[in-house]
Amino acid sequence: MPPTGEPPFAGPRRRAAAAVVCLTLGVCTTVVLAFDAWIDATDSAMIYLVGVMVTAYTTSGAASVVAALLAVVAFDFFVTAPRFTLDVYDTHFLVTFAVMAGAGLAIASLTNRLRRKTAQALRHALAVETEQMRSAMLASVSHDLRTPLGTIMGAATALAEQGVDPASPHGHTLLATLREEAERLDHQLGNLLQMTRIEGGALQLTLEWHVPEELVGQALLRMRSRLGQRALTLEIDPAPELVRVDALAVELVLANLLENAAKYSPEGSPLEIVSGAAEGGRRWRVQVCDRGRGLPPGDPERLFDRFARGQTDRPGVGLGLAICAAMVGAHGGRVEARDRSGGGACFTVDLPIPHAPDADAPLEVAS
Amino acid sequence: MTAPRVLIVEDEPRMTRFLETLCAAHGYRTVHAASGRDGIARAADHQPDVVLLDLGLPDLDGLEVTRQLRGWTHVPIIVLSARGREADKVEALDAGADDYLTKPFGAQELLARIRVALRRQARSPVDGEPALTVGGLHIDFAARRITLDGDDVHLTPREYAMLITLARNVGRVMTHRQILAEVWGPNAVEHTHYVRVHAARLRRKLEADPARPRYLLTETGVGYRLTDE
């Protein structure tokens, strides 16, 4: 056992480094012995130095220093006369040893320094990227929250200050706008709150057995005013009867997919929801499909990245699909986007179902 | 007849203003309390007909206020809380609150809740109505007969018991726990999926479009409500 206080990977990592050192020097020695008739001692020293360089490149810190010193010993043992002893007849080889050790150590230290610098640069790049993502989020969020807020402010001031009669047709339009935009704002704030929960690691699922039809119905209810008079086809298979999910999370996922479908398909074009069992009842699959422009070119997976946006000319925090992916992932499921034959896109949520309980089993057993 | 009195227990001034204005516009008298303790004191002094209780008060939590009020009064309590706090609402409802509203809510929703609460308050608990009609749904409690648009609806005993439980509390939310206790007995209160499966079966018999129900409404994370309109 390593002494206490060692990091947990010290053992295996040290063994791996030792293996690299042995292997490299072994290969160098084999080459030196195999080509013994054609090369002289200087060439052999060069071959060992190449070995040191390889070690320094593939392992870290101490291993490359050890390799540099072992290379000198191997050179002494296998190359200089008398061979296969550590004795040296020709004293000028002592200088060779010193130069070899010096060069080896220099290679080791330079490589290590380079490695540290690279790691630092990578960390820095990552920090910059995170910062850029944060700024992108703030920009996206403030834009998308301000848009409905702007409309609300406009409609409210028109009614309060500009003498638009609330009972007039114009007044009705403004009041309807106020309400719709407030609902939109509420939905987007809900998404934002959910995202911070996911990011902060505070996402706790309340898993209970639910009826798919009810989950779909609740998502539709949430999106009722957003969907307006659109034709909507519902195909809900009686199976699975129950799925084990967090109802609020799944409703949010379906609501976001509906919101997305509504956003990226023409006003009045039909939407479709299909729910059913898959893989012999071990999974629940629910699809939300539209007849819009279909997926943007590129990897469909990217749609589920935070702040990726299908088309940048549409409003909405680029959070909806990222939240879907996170929520579905938390349930151990998958969400996929695909183009649909005949035009449009389909988003499929696929969730595992553990062994379902029997809702008809008699209950009055424990009395 | 004097106008019903609504006690508003809410610490947020703009929310209070909205609630007071809306209540006044619909002919209710209002009393305001900005804290839980104040709310309890005013409930005793003013004998309100309904209490609107915010669950996020600065001093006592709304659940504690509900418990203390229930110690001495049956006044209907409607709790107001933010989305995502379903567990709090269920706790308040199981502790004796009558209904809840999730902020943000619409005026129509609030007025509907107050109306249902006042109607329940006016009726003594033992003296139930002999029948109930909501839209095309008619429930004859005495004859144990359900009709939908004039046609008989055949329900299993469980389905019938669940519908009756909701109908006796028409317009008001019933938590899963309350429904389970009524229909399956007090040992069943953890088995919420029994309620969900039977709600789905009831919908198949009562609703034209079970995913978009007209009568039997889902309150996600809380329970069910038989609508009164």
Q: Which domains does chain A have, with CATH numbers?
A: 10-124 (no CATH), 208-352 (3.30.565.10)
* The pLDDT of residue A4: 43
> Which position has the higher pLDDT, A61 or A253?
A253
Torsion angle (degrees, nearest 10) of CA A176, A179, A185, A190: -130
Residue A76 has pLDDT above 80, yes or no: yes
Report the SS3 class of residue B5: strand
CB contact under 8 A, A190 and B187: no
Beta-strand runs (E) in B4-162: 5-9, 29-33, 50-54, 77-82, 99-103, 131-134, 137-140, 145-148, 151-152
CATH code of the domain containing B183: 1.10.10.10
Residue B97 has pLDDT above 90, yes or no: yes
Set of chain A residues whose Cβ sits within 8 Å of the Cβ of B211: 213-214, 216-217, 220, 234, 236
Residues B136 and B106 reside in one and the same domain: no
Return the ∠ at Cα A268 (arms to A310 and A233), rounded to 5°: 90
A101-to-A73, A106, A143 alpha-carbon distances in Å: 10, 8, 63
Backbone φ and ψ for A238, nearest 5 degrees, come out as: -65, -25
Task: Summarize the confidence of residues B21-31 as an average pLDDT.
Answer: 95
CB contact under 8 A, A217 and B220: no
Residues B107 and B139 reside in one and the same domain: no
Q: Which residues pair with residue A333 across a beta bridge?
A: none
Of A190, A221, A363, the CB nearest to B184: A363
Set of chain A residues whose Cβ sits within 8 Å of the Cβ of B198: 359
Structure tokens at A288: 């939300």
CB contact under 8 A, B187 and A366: yes
Residues B157 and B210 reside in one and the same domain: yes
Task: Summarize the confidence of residues A315-332 as an average pLDDT.
Answer: 81
Question: Does residue B192 sit at the A interface (CB-CB below 8 Å)?
Answer: yes
Task: Summarize the confidence of residues A196-222 as an average pLDDT.
Answer: 88
Kindly report, residue by residue over A83-98, the tens digit of the pLDDT.
Answer: 888 888 888 888 888 8
Rg (C-alpha) for chain A, rounded Å, is 34
pLDDT band at A308 (very low <50, low <70, confident <90, very high): low
Q: Which residues pair with residue A337 across a beta bridge?
A: A347
Q: How large a percentage of chain B has pLDDT more than 90? A: 78
Whole domain around residue B96: which residue ranges? Answer: 5-122
* The pLDDT of residue A143: 77
Residues B99 and B143 reside in one and the same domain: no
* The pLDDT of residue A318: 66
Residues B149 and B63 reside in one and the same domain: no
Kindly report, residue by residue over A15-54, the tens digit of the pLDDT.
Answer: 888 888 899 889 989 988 888 888 888 888 888 888 888 8
> Which position has the higher pLDDT, A303 or B1?
A303
Q: Which residues contact B57 (CB under 8 A, 6 or more apart)?
A: B9, B11, B35, B36, B39, B65
* The pLDDT of residue A6: 41
DSSP-assigned letters across all residues of A286-353: EEEEE-SS-PPSS-GGGGGSTT--S-TTS-S-TTHHHHHHHHHHHTT-EEEEEE-TTSSEEEEEEEE-
Structure tokens at B100: 């809840």
* The pLDDT of residue B73: 93
Residues B105 and B17 reside in one and the same domain: yes
Residue pair A155/A173 in contact by the 8 Å Cβ criterion: no
Return the ∠ at Cα A295 (arms to A291 and A297), rounded to 5°: 145
Interface test with B, best of A218, A223, A237 (most B CBs within 10 A): A218
CB contact under 8 A, B187 and A248: no
Kindly report, residue by residue over B54-84, the tens digit of the pLDDT.
Answer: 998 888 888 899 999 999 999 999 999 877 6
Flag whether the ipTM exceeds 0.95. no
Residues B94 and B137 reside in one and the same domain: no
pLDDT band at A200 (very low <50, low <70, confident <90, very high): confident
Residues B155 and B85 reside in one and the same domain: no
Return the ∠ at Cα A256 (arms to A253 and A259), rounded to 5°: 155
Question: How far away is chain A from the Cα of B44, in angstroms, using its nearest Cα?
Answer: 36
Boundary (domain end) residue, out of B89, B122, B155: B122
Residue B118 has pLDDT above 50, yes or no: yes
Of A206, A208, A363, the CB nearest to B188: A363
Task: Summarize the confidence of residues B157-180 as an average pLDDT.
Answer: 94
Residue A210 has pLDDT above 90, yes or no: yes
Instruction: Find, among A223, A215, A258, A262, the residue nearest to A240 by Cα.
Output: A215
Task: Give how far the C-alpha of residue A210 lies from the chain's centroid of Cα atoms, to the nearest Å.
Answer: 29
* The pLDDT of residue A40: 85
Question: How far away is chain A from the Cα of B106, in angstroms, using its nearest Cα?
Answer: 9
**How many Å apart are CA B93 and CA B173, to the nearest integer?**
9
Residue A2 has pLDDT above 60, yes or no: no
Instruction: Find, among B139, B110, B89, the residue nearest to B30 by Cα.
Output: B110
* The pLDDT of residue A313: 52
Residues B64 and B170 reside in one and the same domain: no
Of A221, A236, A242, the CB nearest to B197: A242
Report the SS3 class of residue A30: helix
* The pLDDT of residue A229: 85
Residue B229 has pLDDT above 70, yes or no: yes
pLDDT band at A359 (very low <50, low <70, confident <90, very high): low
* The pLDDT of residue A364: 41
Residues B116 and B135 reside in one and the same domain: no
Kindly report, residue by residue over B134-154, the tens digit of the pLDDT.
Answer: 999 999 998 999 999 999 999
CB contact under 8 A, B196 and A210: yes
Report the SS3 class of residue A5: coil
Give the count of domains, chain B. Answer: 2
Q: Tokens 């020097």 label which residue?
A: A25
Residues B41 and B75 reside in one and the same domain: yes
Boundary (domain end) residue, out of B68, B98, B122: B122
